[in-house]
Amino acid sequence: MNRVFNFAPGPSMLATEVIEKVQKDLLCYGSTGMSVMEMSHRSKMYLEIFDKAVADFKDVMGVPEGYKVMFLQGGATAMFAAVALNLMQGGKADYIDSGNFAHNALLEAQKYGEVNVAGSSRADNYAYIPAYTLSPDARYVHITTNNTIYGTRYDRLPETGDVPLVADMSSNILSEVYDVSKFGVIYAGAQKNVGPAGVVILVVREDLLGHELPITPKVMSFKKMADADSMLNTPNCFGIYVAGLTFEWIKAQGGVAAIEKVNIEKAKLLYDCLDESKLFHGTAAPQYRSRMNVTFVTGDADKDAAFVKAAAAKGLVNLKGHRTVGGMRASIYNAMPMEGVKALVAFMQDFEAHDR
Ligand SMILES: *Cc1c(COP(=O)(O)O)cnc(C)c1O
């Protein structure tokens, strides 16, 4: 059985080299005589794996002094609640409603304080990043840097002055260079660009620790988790190990800047194909096109379904779009090689040529 080009939105492709490394060390890691799955999270060997994962993440992400990095559980969805519990302090927060996950984040935050929807493109099926008006007295501003379902991306970050910027980077973390010092909090579920599902990366500026509401569950307290080095309880040991292998892989590719260049090329290839096509049309406003999730339609649901099916038969799998957008979505995260995108473009051109 050959590996396919998997265009799934998440969980999604991991680098083959990462999976091969996992396979090689699966039964016996180093000289321990046991699998990473079987190690105590307090053991010396596991702490080495953990500390290296944190250090390599800081390195590839460019995390400056003054920030804590944590690997927690509950996914980005748990962070929707945790952000509000830790930062709202009974006040108000600005949320930019740019997609389904952005919307879910603000619905969750509403349970713990006042949410100001600073801008929304919901009425236009989130085809673009909305204009927004920020409130000067907000405790923080929440954005979703890449909108996984609708295929849009912030082409520039909001200027928030002294108000902390909080970003859900689940679907584009480590795919492009970000200046971490512009953010108060960054979080990302691992299952798109980093590793297996079940790990969420959390980066918090230190002055934002220790302001949580008293009702905050301790596993959601940024301060308590930071003080315990993510190990207030048993972390997702194996998932963190695989994420660490991905950070090493990113370094071996030349770091995030080098990967960003390839990602720009991959996305351009696909968008150029869409722009030249008479059959396929991109659904995201060109200015805000995502480099990670490319959404497109033919305008005919039966034809879309036929395309998805025929592509799968050629080893180009999971191209069906999210039900709210329909059509197709090609998720081309870091681990999707250029050949995968080229194969998809060639298949689209061939499908169009045979379209009557
Ligand atoms: C996938 C995704 C989520 C949801 O992540 P979970 O880990 O399933 O909670 C949230 N935000 C964005 C931008 C996503 O792409």
Could you report the per-residue pLDDT of 2-28, keeping only the tens digit for each? 899 999 999 999 999 999 999 999 999
Output DSSP code: residue 289: B
- The residue to mutate among 171, 199, 333, having the most atoms of ligand 1 within 8 angstroms of its beta carbon, is 171
The overall average pLDDT reported for the chain is: 97
The answer to whether the CB of 148 is under 6 A from ligand 1 is: yes
Output DSSP code: residue 122: G
148 C-alpha to ligand 1 centroid (Å): 8
153 C-alpha to ligand 1 centroid (Å): 15
32 C-alpha to ligand 1 centroid (Å): 35
The protein residue with its alpha carbon nearest to ligand 1, atom 7, reads 75
Enumerate the β-bridge partners of residue 114: 92
The answer to whether the CB of 101 is under 6 A from ligand 1 is: yes
Interval 280-308: pLDDT, tens: 999 999 999 999 999 999 999 999 999 99
Interval 316-335: pLDDT, tens: 999 999 998 899 999 999 99
What is the pLDDT at residue 355?
87
172 C-alpha to ligand 1 centroid (Å): 11
Question: Is the confidence at residue 105, as pLDDT, over 80?
Answer: yes
What is the pLDDT at residue 272?
98
Cα→Cα distances 169→88, 192, 233, Å: 20, 10, 25
pTM beyond cutoff 0.85: yes
What is the pLDDT at residue 46?
98
The answer to whether the CB of 89 is under 6 A from ligand 1 is: no
Interval 113-165: pLDDT, tens: 999 999 999 999 999 999 999 999 999 999 999 999 999 999 999 999 999 99
Confidence of residue 69 (pLDDT cuts 50, 70, 90): very high
| Cα-only R_g, the chain | 21
Could you tell me the domains of the chain?
Answer: 16-252 (3.40.640.10), 255-355 (3.90.1150.10)
Atom nearest to 79 CA in ligand 1 = 9
311 C-alpha to ligand 1 centroid (Å): 26
Interval 165-198: pLDDT, tens: 999 999 999 999 999 999 999 999 999 999 999 9
The answer to whether the CB of 116 is under 6 A from ligand 1 is: no
Write out the DSSP string of 75-110.
HHHHHHHHHHHHH-TTSEEEEEE-SHHHHHHHHHHT
Question: Is the confidence at residue 1, as pLDDT, over 90?
Answer: no
Atom nearest to 197 CA in ligand 1 = 7
- The residue to mutate among 170, 236, 331, having the most atoms of ligand 1 within 8 angstroms of its beta carbon, is 170
The DSSP H or E segment spanning 47 is helix 44-61
75 C-alpha to ligand 1 centroid (Å): 7
Supply the angle between the helices 301-313 and 338-353 in degrees, to the nearest 10. Answer: 130
Confidence of residue 235 (pLDDT cuts 50, 70, 90): very high
Backbone phi and psi for residue 224, each to the nearest 5 degrees, phi listed first:
-65, -40
Q: What percent of the chain has pLDDT over 90?
A: 98
Question: Is the confidence at residue 356, as pLDDT, over 90?
Answer: no
What is the pLDDT at residue 309?
97
The answer to whether the CB of 170 is under 6 A from ligand 1 is: yes
Atom nearest to 169 CA in ligand 1 = 13
What is the pLDDT at residue 153?
98
77 C-alpha to ligand 1 centroid (Å): 6
Atom nearest to 77 CA in ligand 1 = 9
The answer to whether the CB of 95 is under 6 A from ligand 1 is: no
Backbone phi and psi for residue 115, each to the nearest 5 degrees, phi listed first:
-105, 125
Q: How far is CA 81 from the centre of its chain?
A: 17
Residues 212-218: contacts with CB under 8 Å, at least 24 apart: 212/85, 212/86, 213/85, 213/86, 213/88, 213/89, 213/90, 213/112, 215/85, 216/82, 216/85, 216/86, 217/85
